[in-house]
Amino acid sequence: MNSEADPNWHNTSGEQVDAPLCNADGDTALHLSVLFSDPYDVIVRITQQTDTALLNAQNNRRQTALHLAVLTDNVPVIRHLVLSGCRLDLQDWNGNSALHMACTGGDSVDRVRALLPSPAHPHLHANCSSKENPAHLMNFKGETPLHVAASRGHVAILRYLTLGHVGADVNVGDGRSGRTILHHAVEENNSDVVYFIARHARHLQLKVNTRSYDGFTAADLAYDRKRHELYDLLKRVARDEATPMDSTDDAMCL
């Protein structure tokens, strides 16, 4: 992406136009304003003067202004763009939504919370072309944002996505292997994620014996990898002997 705006502006069909819509990289004025961290009031003014189509315009990398706001970790702008009508289901050239990207960085829920605000702002599904939960959208590797967060051990983000109003389903398998986040956590020996899921198994409506496309449960993987502690834990969960969920602790941590 060029650091300077191209003086020859074009629309997405490649035709030069009188009013600048996007530059040679496909960036609109809103893309550039977000990318170069213009003052918040400038970005607000641009969005107020932008129709919905341009608000959700994608550049040559298929990134929207919302993707760039996540990339630059600009939480106030993320929140403003979402509440202005930016869609949550648009994907970049790797198939990543803004939520995928928010789950990639550190284990901070600030960006995720800005993308998926509380029910007081009913934009969770309104900003999607379908009614699918944004946390279940798969990128081109078959990963949901849950898989992305779990693979990086981001338990705080998992907690927000699964135990709060977002209601993401931990039993969703990835698009390539059918493995859930529990399968992947066992495979990667990520005990923090495994223990989080096991502790809240009842609240999460965990189906611990879910099988991947090749027929393995998470416990099968733990046994095969000789991860005996995780294997014993998952067998206890399967027998409904996991530690009871502490609902007070859940509420405090959301």
The pLDDT tens digits of the residues spanning 181-236 come to: 999 999 999 999 999 999 999 999 999 999 999 999 999 999 999 999 999 999 99
The Cα angle at residue 203 between residues 201 and 205, in degrees rounded to 5: 65
Calculate what percentage of the chain has a pLDDT beyond 70: 81
The pLDDT of residue 245 is 43
CA distance 78 to 75: 5
Yes or no: say if 27 and 1 are a contact pair by the CB < 8 Å rule: yes
Q: Does the structure show a pLDDT above 60 at 6?
A: no
Place of tokens 């393995």: 216
Q: Which residues contact 82 (CB under 8 A, 6 or more apart)?
A: 66, 88, 114, 115, 117, 123, 127
More confident residue, 100 or 119: 100
CB 134 within 8 A of CB 126: no
d(CA 54, CA 49): 10
Residues 6+ apart with CB under 8 A from 184: 147, 150, 151, 174, 190
Higher pLDDT, 126 or 36: 36
Q: Specify which residues 10 forms β-bridges with.
A: 16, 22
Contact 56, 97 (CB under 8 A): no
Average pLDDT over residues 168-174: 97
Token pair 């600009």 is found at 74
How many residues are present in the chain? 254
Q: What is the mean pLDDT of the chain?
A: 84
Residue 175 has pLDDT above 80, yes or no: yes
The residue behind tokens 């990667």 is 188
Confidence class of residue 250 from pLDDT cuts 50, 70 and 90? Answer: very low
SS3 16: strand
Identify which of 53, 35, 34, 254 has the alpha carbon closest to the alpha carbon of residue 161. Answer: 254
pLDDT at position 40, please?
87
pLDDT at 9 > cutoff 80? no
Q: What is the mean pLDDT of residues 115-126?
A: 65
- Per-residue pLDDT of 11-52, as tens digits, reads 333 333 333 477 888 899 999 999 998 888 888 888 887 777
Cα 137 from Cα 98, distance rounded (Å): 11
Integer Cα distance of 120 and 175 in angstroms: 32
What structural domains and CATH numbers belong to the chain?
131-253 (1.25.40.20)
pLDDT at 119: 67
Q: Could you give the 3-state DSSP secondary structure of residue 184?
A: helix
Distance CA 42, CA 49 (A): 11
Mean pLDDT of 45-63: 87
Q: How far is it, in rounded angstroms, from Cα 141 to Cα 94?
A: 8
Q: What percentage of the chain carries pLDDT values higher than 90?
A: 65
